[in-house]
Amino acid sequence: GQQLNQSPQSMFIQEGEDVSMNCTSSSIFNTWLWYKQDPGEGPVLLIALYKAGELTSNGRLTAQFGITRKDSFLNISASIPSDVGIYFCAGSLMKAAGNKLTFGGGTRVLVKP
Amino acid sequence: DAGVIQSPRHEVTEMGQEVTLRCKPISGHDYLFWYRQTMMRGLELLIYFNNNVPIDDSGMPEDRFSAKMPNASFSTLKIQPSEPRDSAVYFCASSPRGGLEAFFGQGTRLTVV
């Protein structure tokens, strides 16, 4: 089945730094989504990408849908403490009967001690 | 809009007992998803509905698991009998755009002892 590999699995950030994470797939997707999950909460949608090559921003977040449709990256500029959490990529391949998301394993963002 | 509402937030039960998790999707959303999240396996899709009809239940782990959606505003996920390995956080999500963007509830943390 489809698998999404996220990297890095975890990272430490210092306030003000830019951070980057990516997601690769063994098969193509029509849609890429990025979610953030805080402790004790459900994932919250950050950015949705619908076309290969698309670059989309949401505040300090920027995400791109890879040309091959098998990858996507998420950048966070000028990180702040509340950026800590788990970031998930998700891919979707629309089918006639409907749709479902396949999630990556997540990138855990932590604050440098 | 109140978002996706799940109940209970926490459930502790003894092995062998029946457990019912409840979900109220966002009004107007045609798709409803049930996910399970564990440290080992991440976010797994269990089943999803479109217009109250189950479309794909290939992720349901065993016959002990069943899900229903009697109307557009309510769904249940039932585990009978429950086992300790069912301990996880169960999320319900709904989607308005052909299932492309999922909005998650806060989850139900299930502990089976």
Residue B15 has pLDDT above 70, yes or no: yes
Longest dimension (CA), chain A: 49
CA angle A112, A41, A76 (to 5 degrees): 40
Q: What's the CA gap between A21 and A106, in Å, rounded?
A: 10
pLDDT tier for residue A96 given thresholds of 50, 70 and 90: low
Whether residue B102 contacts residue B4, with contact meaning beta carbons closer than 8 Å, is answered with no
Q: CA-to-CA distance for B87 and B64, rounded, in angstroms?
A: 14
Q: Can you spell out the DSSP letters for A10-50?
A: EEEE-TT--EEEEEEESS--SEEEEEEE-TTS--EEEEEE-
Structure confidence at residue A46 (pLDDT): 96
Q: Give bridge partners of residue A35 from the DSSP assignment.
A: A45, A88
Radius of gyration of chain A (CA): 14
- Coil, strand or helix: which one is B30? coil
Distance CA A28, CA A71 (A): 8
The shortest CB-CB distance from B48 to any of A42, A44, A98 is to A98
A105 touches B: beta carbon within 8 Å = yes
The shortest CB-CB distance from B104 to any of A43, A92, A98 is to A43
Each residue of A79-92: pLDDT tens digit? 999 999 999 999 98
Residue A36's closest chain B neighbor by CA? B104
Q: How confident is the model at residue A101 (pLDDT cuts 50, 70, 90)?
A: confident
Q: What's the pLDDT at B61?
A: 87
What's the pLDDT at A3?
Answer: 78
pLDDT, mean over chain A? 90
Q: How large is the average pLDDT for residues A50-67?
A: 94
User: How large is the average pLDDT for residues A2-27?
Assistant: 91
